[in-house]
């Protein structure tokens, strides 16, 4: 069973300084544990290294408060720093969904949870924000994916753009835009086609749709359990179309949340939501505090 970072640090510090300030040795020993724990949580090596550097600077010489042990003190510093990195300097801005109809482009690889997340987000916008939402699937290669979105739409009471066989993704996107305007919708969500891996055809298609509708938000949906692969996917999509936010799915699994830290640190993109299950209400706002706790164990 995985030993949590809190347990590890507690153990290490039980044998070390009991009072005063944290010595350099104490900090060095603790940081070795932090680094291993981050790597075990699937944080990439450069991110873990950089993180440890930041925490070391904060922890060295920090006075140990009487009421807590040095181990707890370091855990607090690590927790606060995790939270700061996950939230980013400017924090997590609200979704840009003013000026109706606001287009949101959903991108990502096949199987990452894009269609499910599109419907979950539509439901959330409708119920929490009182928005009129239209969804459209652009996945012309997989009629089943288009059907899936229509079925989910019926389930959650959100309209989907009628399917017209033979249309190209960019034409469906334009039709969605027109329909959203005429129909008085506040937001329209475009569920793009995924592929098993990044390929040029996929990227060109997404870029074409992006240029046609000028989305207010381009949300990348990635499987949070794929760790560093998710970060690479994010960088590729960002280079091509400019990602404005990330949704990490499958965070109900036993992954330890490290993908979130690497994602934020490497791409600088805000993580907006986490998917926590297959049901339509299993989409939560990203809370740095909670994920920091999860990484710490
Ligand atoms: P797409 O190919 O990217 O559109 O992926 P789908 O939306 O079809 O999702 C693929 C599978 O992952 C489906 O069985 C979903 O129910 C499941 N899924 C999506 N998001 C989550 C999540 O947050 N947690 C879990 N456990 N399953 C999810």
- Give pLDDT, residue 15: 59
ipTM: 0.99
Ligand 1 closest atom vs CA 251: 23
Using left for φ > 0, alpha for ψ between -120 and 50, and beta otherwise, residue 139 falls in: beta
- Give pLDDT, residue 23: 78
Q: Other C-beta atoms within 10 Å of 101: how many?
A: 24
Q: Is the CB of 192 inside a 6 Å radius of any atom of ligand 1? A: no
Ligand 1 closest atom vs CA 224: 23
For residue 253, pLDDT beyond 70: yes
DSSP code at position 101 = S
Q: Is the CB of 250 inside a 6 Å radius of any atom of ligand 1? A: yes
Q: Is 109 annotated as a binding residue?
A: yes
What global pTM score does this model have? 0.92
Q: pLDDT tens across 159-169, in order?
A: 999 999 899 99
For residue 181, pLDDT beyond 90: yes
Ligand 1 closest atom vs CA 109: 3
Residue 16, helix vs strand vs coil:
coil
- Give pLDDT, residue 1: 39
For ligand 1, mutation pick of 109, 111, 113, 230 (most atoms within 8 Å of CB)? 113
Q: Is 242 annotated as a binding residue?
A: no
Q: Is the CB of 275 inside a 6 Å radius of any atom of ligand 1? A: yes
Give all strands (DSSP E) within the chain, no chain letters: 102-107, 133-137, 159-160, 187-191, 217-223, 245-249, 271-275, 283-285
- Give pLDDT, residue 255: 64
Ligand 1 closest atom vs CA 108: 3
Ligand 1 mean position, distance from CA 24 (Å): 46
Q: Is the CB of 194 inside a 6 Å radius of any atom of ligand 1? A: yes
Percentage of the chain exceeding pLDDT 70: 94
- Give pLDDT, residue 13: 66
Q: Is 17 annotated as a binding residue?
A: no
Nearest CA to ligand 1 atom 16: 278
Q: Which of 100-109, 187-196, 244-253 has the highest mean pLDDT?
A: 100-109
Q: Is 61 annotated as a binding residue?
A: no
Ligand 1 mean position, distance from CA 110 (Å): 9
Q: Is the CB of 258 inside a 6 Å radius of any atom of ligand 1? A: no
Mention every residue, 6+ apart, whose C-beta is less than 8 A from residue 86: 260, 261, 264, 271, 286, 288, 291, 292
3-state helix, strand, coil in the chain (%, to 5): 50, 15, 35
- Give pLDDT, residue 39: 87
For residue 60, pLDDT beyond 80: yes
Q: Please state the rounded mean pLDDT for residues 216-242.
A: 92
Q: Is 234 annotated as a binding residue?
A: no
According to DSSP, the residues that pair with 283 across neighbouring strands are 275
Q: Which of 63-72, 99-108, 220-229 has the highest mean pLDDT?
A: 99-108
- Give pLDDT, residue 64: 72
- Give pLDDT, residue 17: 55
Q: pLDDT tens across 97-145, in order?
A: 999 999 999 999 999 999 999 999 999 999 999 999 999 999 998 889 9
For residue 218, pLDDT beyond 90: yes
Q: Is the CB of 118 inside a 6 Å radius of any atom of ligand 1? A: no
According to DSSP, the residues that pair with 45 across neighbouring strands are none
Q: How many residues does the chain have?
A: 297
**How many Å apart are CA 258 and CA 85, to the nearest integer?**
12
According to DSSP, the residues that pair with 248 across neighbouring strands are 222, 274
According to DSSP, the residues that pair with 134 across neighbouring strands are 159, 188
Q: Is the CB of 137 inside a 6 Å radius of any atom of ligand 1? A: no
């Amino acid at each position: 069973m995985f030993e949590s970072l809190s347990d590890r640090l507690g153990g290490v510090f039980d044998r070390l300084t009991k009072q005063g300030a944290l010595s350099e040795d104490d900090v060095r020993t603790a940081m070795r544990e932090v680094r291993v724990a981050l790597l075990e949580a699937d944080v990439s090596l450069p991110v873990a290294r950089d993180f440890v550097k930041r925490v070391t600077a904060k922890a060295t010489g920090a006075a140990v408060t009487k009421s807590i042990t040095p181990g707890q003190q370091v855990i607090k510093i690590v927790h606060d720093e995790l939270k700061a990195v996950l939230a980013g300097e400017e924090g997590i801005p609200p979704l840009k969904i003013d000026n109706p109809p606001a287009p949101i482009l959903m991108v990502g690889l096949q199987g990452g949870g894009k269609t499910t997340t599109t419907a979950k987000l539509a439901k959330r916008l409708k119920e929490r924000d009182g928005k009129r939402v239209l969804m459209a699937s652009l996945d012309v290669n997989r009629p089943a994916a288009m059907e899936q979105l229509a079925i989910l739409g019926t389930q959650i009471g959100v309209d989907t753009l009628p399917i017209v066989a033979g249309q190209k993704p960019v034409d469906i996107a334009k039709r969605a835009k027109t329909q959203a305007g005429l129909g008085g919708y506040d937001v329209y969500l475009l569920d793009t086609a995924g592929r098993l891996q990044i390929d040029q055809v996929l990227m060109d298609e997404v870029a074409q749709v992006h240029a046609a509708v000028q989305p207010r938000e381009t949300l990348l949906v990635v499987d949070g359990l794929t760790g560093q692969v998710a970060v690479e996917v994010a960088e590729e999509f960002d280079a091509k179309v400019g990602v404005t936010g990330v949704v990490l799915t499958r965070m109900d699994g036993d992954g330890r949340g490290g993908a979130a830290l690497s994602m934020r640190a490497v791409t600088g993109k805000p993580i907006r939501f986490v998917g926590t299950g297959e049901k339509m209400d299993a989409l939560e706002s990203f809370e740095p505090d909670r994920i920091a706790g999860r990484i710490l164990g």
